[in-house]
């Protein structure tokens, strides 16, 4: 991508004048709209909330992942590394906060060393910069209060404010002549031979029909519903998993310098409790992971009968649950007990107790699941004709956002040519 001065939108190889719509105002939707704007498209970005980044983008941990875990050659691996390059250039151009605080993946005992070896091999294959293997003494040189028998140190893993990035991306869309429509819900997509008809409704109640040459949906927690309404296949389905964080009080926060993560355990589908500095200086502890009673629930109470009925009525969910009873038990313990939550963190930073924790934010993960109960681990893209759907964008989705946008737009335009 061409360098440019702040406030000026760089231009790339142009497709020519055409009308494009992007559905979803999270970071990937905003990045996709910007990518189209760089190609001189007349872009309209639709977001149903009053502001951008209101869902997964605004409720995640803010980590810029370096690419440690992902199978070499996978979309995740490729787009994560490309995404980091694009993101670091973008935040430098926009003068946005970006902190390479580094990350430790810590093995607590010998049983975890083989899994740590596998992560190291993947990270090396993916070209993760500066990766080092540490022993117990070297761990303490990086994180004086952390314990473990071995670790991988990724010094280039960073933290950022993804909401601020999303707004900066949208500013570039506007600067290029695009339109950002908040409080506007896309209710349907109708494919025609030469266009796509977008049906939308505003919060004020007005209805609209518009014609576009290309539509890209990046609808996150609603991605499966919108795709099905556009005639796409039913699977994968979105099953929402909530994740509650705690925040460390100021005094114990001094025990943590960078990110401290466990070695992933293949017995569990989710990572488990870890420690994550935020760009504002607070330290988050968590998250746990449990079925959310609503797709867009960020408070401790509430539910959606529709969302809950769809999740528990999906046979794939019960197949998933049957194979993950130990994981559900682990997550339930941390969900109902702050003491157990703190105990998980204290495995890595001894001395942390429930008294050190304050209630923190909640996120909801849009987890794509297949009918056989498998979790989609990689990015999933589908669609037909002039419509492209991003059906699954788990972590490192935010890290990879600008690279996902490149991939979505360039692939769609190549097909249309």
Task: Retrieve residue 41's tokens.
Answer: 């498209």
Whether residue 188 has a cis bond before it, omega within 30° of 0: no
> What pLDDT digit, counting tens, does each position of 383-405 carry?
988 999 999 999 999 999 999 99
Assigned CATH for 19-58+163-235+377-416: 3.50.50.60
> What pLDDT digit, counting tens, does each position of 59-93 carry?
999 999 999 999 999 999 999 999 999 999 999 99
Cβ atoms of 405 and 32 closer than 8 Å: yes
Rounded distance between C-alpha atoms, residue 136 and residue 361, angstroms: 32
Rounded distance between C-alpha atoms, residue 24 and residue 78, angstroms: 23
Domain boundaries, the chain: 19-58+163-235+377-416, 103-155, 237-375
Tell me whether the CATH fold assigned to 19-58+163-235+377-416 matches the one assigned to 237-375. Answer: no
Please name which of 236, 239, 235, 230 lies closest in space to residue 309, comparing C-alpha atoms: 239
End-to-end CA distance of the chain: 22
φ/ψ of 266, rounded to 5, equals -65, -15
Taking the model in full, what pTM does it have? 0.94
Between the alpha carbon of residue 154 and those of residues 57, 64, 166, 260, the distances in Å are 23, 11, 25, 11
Reduce the DSSP state of residue 381 to 3 states and report it: strand
The answer on pLDDT for 335 being more than 90 is: no
- If DSSP states are collapsed to H, E and C, what string results for 68-118? CCCCCCCHHHHHHHHHHHHHHHHHHHHCCCEECCCEEEEECCHHHHHHHHH
Q: Please compute, for residue 370, the number of CA atoms within 13 A of its CA located in the half-sphere on the CB side.
A: 7
Rounded distance between C-alpha atoms, residue 191 and residue 13, angstroms: 27
The answer on pLDDT for 1 being more than 50 is: no
CATH 3.90.550 assigned to domain 237-375? The reply is: no
Strand 259-262 with 380-384, pairing: unpaired
Rounded distance between C-alpha atoms, residue 293 and residue 309, angstroms: 9
Residue 327 is predicted with a pLDDT of 85
Average pLDDT over residues 327-348: 90
Reported confidence tier of residue 16, pLDDT bands at 50, 70, 90 = low
Residue 113 is predicted with a pLDDT of 98
Average pLDDT over residues 315-338: 89
Task: Retrieve residue 281's tokens.
Answer: 């200086």
> What pLDDT digit, counting tens, does each position of 89-140 carry?
999 999 999 999 999 999 999 999 999 999 999 999 999 999 999 999 999 9
Please name which of 55, 67, 110 lies closest in space to residue 297, comparing C-alpha atoms: 55
């Amino acid at each position: 991508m061409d360098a440019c001065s702040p406030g000026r939108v760089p231009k790339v190889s142009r497709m020519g004048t055409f009308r494009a719509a992007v559905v979803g105002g999270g970071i990937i939707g905003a990045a996709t709209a910007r990518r189209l704007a760089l190609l001189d498209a007349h872009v309209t970005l639709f977001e149903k909330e009053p502001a951008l980044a209101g869902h997964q983008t605004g409720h995640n941990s803010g980590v810029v992942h370096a690419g440690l875990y992902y199978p070499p050659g996978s979309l995740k691996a490729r787009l994560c590394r490309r995404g980091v390059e694009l993101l670091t250039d973008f935040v430098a151009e926009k003068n946005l906060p970006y902190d390479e605080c580094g990350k430790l993946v810590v093995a607590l005992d010998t049983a975890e060393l083989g899994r740590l070896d596998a992560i190291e091999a993947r990270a090396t294959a993916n070209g993760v910069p500066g990766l080092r293997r540490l022993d117990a003494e070297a761990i303490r040189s990086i994180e004086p209060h952390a314990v473990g028998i071995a670790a991988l140190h990724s010094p280039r893993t960073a933290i950022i404010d993804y909401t601020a990035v999303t707004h900066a991306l949208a500013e570039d869309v506007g600067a290029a002549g695009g339109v950002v429509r908040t409080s506007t819900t896309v209710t349907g997509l109708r494919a025609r031979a030469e266009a796509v008809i977008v049906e939308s409704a505003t919060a004020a109640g007005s209805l609209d029909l518009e014609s576009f040459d290309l539509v890209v949906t990046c609808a996150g927690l609603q991605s499966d519903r919108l795709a099905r309404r556009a005639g796409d296949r039913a699977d994968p389905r979105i099953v929402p998993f909530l994740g509650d964080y705690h925040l460390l009080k100021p005094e114990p926060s001094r025990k943590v310098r960078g990110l401290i993560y466990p070695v992933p355990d293949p017995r569990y589908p989710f990572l488990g409790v870890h420690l994550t500095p935020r760009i504002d200086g607070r330290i988050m502890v968590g998250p746990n992971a449990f079925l959310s009673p609503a797709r867009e629930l960020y408070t401790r109470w509430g539910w959606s009968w529709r969302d809950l009925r769809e999740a528990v009525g999906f046979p794939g969910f019960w197949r998933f649950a049957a194979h993950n009873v130990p994981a559900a038990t682990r997550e339930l313990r941390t969900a109902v007990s702050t003491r157990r939550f703190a105990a998980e963190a204290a495995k890595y930073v001894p001395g942390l107790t429930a008294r050190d924790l304050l209630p923190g934010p909640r996120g909801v993960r849009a987890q794509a699941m297949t009918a056989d109960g498998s979790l989609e681990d990689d990015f999933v893209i589908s669609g037909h004709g002039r419509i492209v759907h991003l059906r699954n964008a788990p972590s490192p989705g935010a890290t990879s956002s600008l690279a996902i946008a490149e991939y979505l737009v360039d692939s769609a335009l190549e097909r249309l040519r």
